[in-house]
Each structure stands twice: as structure tokens, then as C-alpha cells.
Amino acid sequence: MKTTGLLHLLALAAFVASAPAQAAEKLMADNRQGDIAAIVGGDVISNYDVDSRLKFIMATTHISDTPDVIERIRPQVVQSLINEKLEMQAADKASIKISDDDINKAIAGIESERSMPSGAITRQLSDNHVPMETFKNQIRAQLAWNSLLAKNMKPHIRITDQDIEMAQKRALIPTTFTELKIGVVTLPIDKPSREAELVKVADKLIKEVRNGADFSEVSRQFGGVAGGGHVETFWVKPEQLDPAVFKALAGAKAGFVTDPVRTDTGITIVKVYDAHMVADSPAVDTEVTLKEILLKLKADASNKEASVLLQIGEDVAKHPGTCEEKGIAGLDNLQDFDIEVNFTTARLSELPAAIKIIAQNLNVGDISSPFASDEGIRLYMLCGKKDAPSPAMDREHLTDLVFQQKMELEAQKYIRNLRRETFIEIR
């Protein structure tokens, strides 16, 4: 492709507009600020609190704001707010304080992780008429809960040699296997009597996700209790999951969303983002040098803008330049087009699973097809490849993995105990 053609496409991408999320304005029509939705110990959750959180969810997840959707998810929003009250009450008893500076740093961290400009979240909430205090209250509860878990739970979690040995055996299976990149939402069952209700909530969330709602944000709003409720996507072998989830994912491909799955931790929903076969041989390792080309995509980009960037990526793949060039063929100033080019040298075993598969299937000098990521459109060129001694299994990494699994279980027990010990009335 000629340089002028690439410049034209880049200019087009820069000016494609994306529509803002629709705010659920009807939620505040009755102005019920004085009504009580629930009482948690000595604290009150007002209907204003619930409506504000609903508006926040509608704005960030793109779930439709129809009356039947709101009616279905409202009880779960109340339950989430109850959990946050319990978390804050327990943190107060432990003398844990979260400052405004802590909250602002956390928000800045979220914006950085999502490649959003500073202040983007504040502007998004303002555009959708969502009180900023709603988001800050959620962040405050998450930070307080994480600090409480670190103070009260972490010192009591023990990792045995047997735990590490089992994790190591799972990591060292030298076979060809299916690997899935998934996101998970689990609605904890605090009372057996609520199971049917939670299944209905899950059904509604699944319908919304299948119709285009943002699963990542749904996960953040309705996810588990450890780590503030947000569960990132991750690669996993299906057989390592809960048996019921493993069964539900049989034959799953990218884009698949399970029906509600009953697990030991609650009602679980899984979305499959990617799937591939992995040929893994832990005894052999290879060192590779990759040239990564990233066409950056705005956090609020529309589907049209993403499609334009993907087209640009396909043209770049035809004329990417050489490994010796620090940029792209025909383009000198990449910053003008929001493009990054980076070189990485690493062992295949150290690379993320998706990048590992790409590197394994390229010859030196070849470039991958463009693919979408959270930051934009990526391409990888293989610039070098050589055998490398396989390092010993990283015990520290295995310890962290086992610790996170145990912390999640302890967090779930903790919140269930708090609910049993506290007077809770839902109106």
C-alpha cells in the first residue's frame, strides 16, 4: 500500500466519532432520595444510592435501560451495596481508612490500565449524569476491603509444599491441549432461598452480554468479593475449572457465553474471548525476538473506528518494513498517528499464551495477521529465534497463584460470616 493511502486511513481513523453510552434517565424520575432500600447494621442504603449505582452500571456496561432489565438486576445491585456496607463497616472496626488521595490514585490507575486520558472517567460519568460520588464510594469500599483482607486474611493463609507440588504438576502437563481466554462473573449465593432469584439475574445479564453489553464492566460490577469484585480475562485449560463450568464450555469458541452455571461459589457466567490448541513441551524452551506494532485505539472507540484500524493493520502487514527498521515502512513520525513499535526478546515460556502461539507459528522475518486487543490493533514480526536452556519452574509464581486461589475462598467465607452476624433488612 502507498504511504499516502496509509496516511488517508490514519486520518480517517482519527476523526471517526463514537457515540456516548446512553444514560438511564428514567431511573431518577421519581426522585426517591428519602426512601430506604435496605438497612445494614446501623447504616442505611437509600433508593437514591441504588438508582445512582444503576445509572452507573448502565453507563459503563452498556446494558439496556429497559424496565424489565432494571427490575431484574435491581435486587442484585442492592445486594452489592449491602456487601459494600458490610465491607466498610468491617474496615472501620479494623481502623482502616481510605483517603481521597487513595481513591484518586486508584481512578488514575484504572484510566492508565485502559489507556484512557486523565479525567476521562469523570467526564464519562458527567456526560451520563452519574454522580461521581457513586463511583468513588465503590472504589473506597474496594480499597478498604482489599486492605482488610490483607490485614486479617493474608497472615493466616498457609501455602504448603503439597500445594506447590500440585500446582507444578498442573503447569507441567506436556501435551497438546485446548486453552481458552475467558472472563468470569460469579453471583455469590448468600442464602439458599436466593438461588432462583440469582439465576434470573444471571439470565438477564447473559442476554444483555449476548446483545453487546460490556462483559468486562459487568464482571467489575457483579463479580466476586475478592480483589474488589473485578475479574480480568485470563487463559486457562478448561479441565482446571470447576467441573460444571468445564462441561458448559465443551466445544466453546470465541464469543461464546455460557448459560448460568451452578458452582460451589455461586451462579457463574463465563465468556470465551479466544480459544486455541496449545502444543506445550516444558523441557524445551526457545528465545525469540519480536517486533510489536500497536495501532492505538481510543478507550471509547466505536465499532467503525475499530474496523478502520483493522484495515490499516492489514495494510501494514503487507508492508511492515524490516526487523532492522525501528518503525514502519514509509512512516517516519509514528507519534503523529498514535502508533507504537517495540522490540522484545524473551523465552517462549515467558510470553503470554496468545503471543506464544503467534511466535511459534512464524518464521524469522514473517509477520502475524493483525488482531484486536484492549489497547488497539497489534501485529508481531519474528526477528530472531534460538534455542535456550529451559529455566526451573518459578516457585514464586506458583506460590502467588495458589495464594490468590486461597484468598478468594477466604474472602467469600468472610463476607458470608459478616452477612450472618449483621442485621440486614431489605425493603
Give pLDDT < 70 ranges for the chain: 1-34, 168-177, 223-232, 278-285, 299, 329-337, 388-394
Domains 161-280 and 286-388 fall in the same CATH topology: yes
Question: For residue 224, what pLDDT is reported?
Answer: 53
Q: In 3D, which of 351, 383, 349 has the Cα closest to residue 368?
A: 383
pLDDT at 140: 92
The pLDDT of residue 160: 84
CB 111 within 8 A of CB 117: yes
Topology of the domain comprising 286-388: Chitinase A; domain 3 (3.10.50)
CATH T-level topology, domain 161-280: Chitinase A; domain 3 (3.10.50)
CATH of domain 20-155: 1.10.4030.10
Q: What is the per-residue pLDDT for 91?
A: 93
Domain ranges of the chain: 20-155, 161-280, 286-388
Closest by Cα among 43, 87, 40, 50 to 425:
40
pLDDT digits (tens, 9 = 90+) for 36-49: 889 999 899 999 99
Cα–Cα–Cα angle for 107, 112, 117, rounded to 5 degrees: 90
Within 8 A by CB and 6+ apart from 128, the residues are: 20, 21, 22, 23, 55, 58, 59
pTM, two decimal places: 0.51
| Distance, CA of 30 to chain centre | 34
The distance in angstroms from the start CA to the end CA of the chain is 64
CA dist., res. 261 & res. 247, Å (int): 10
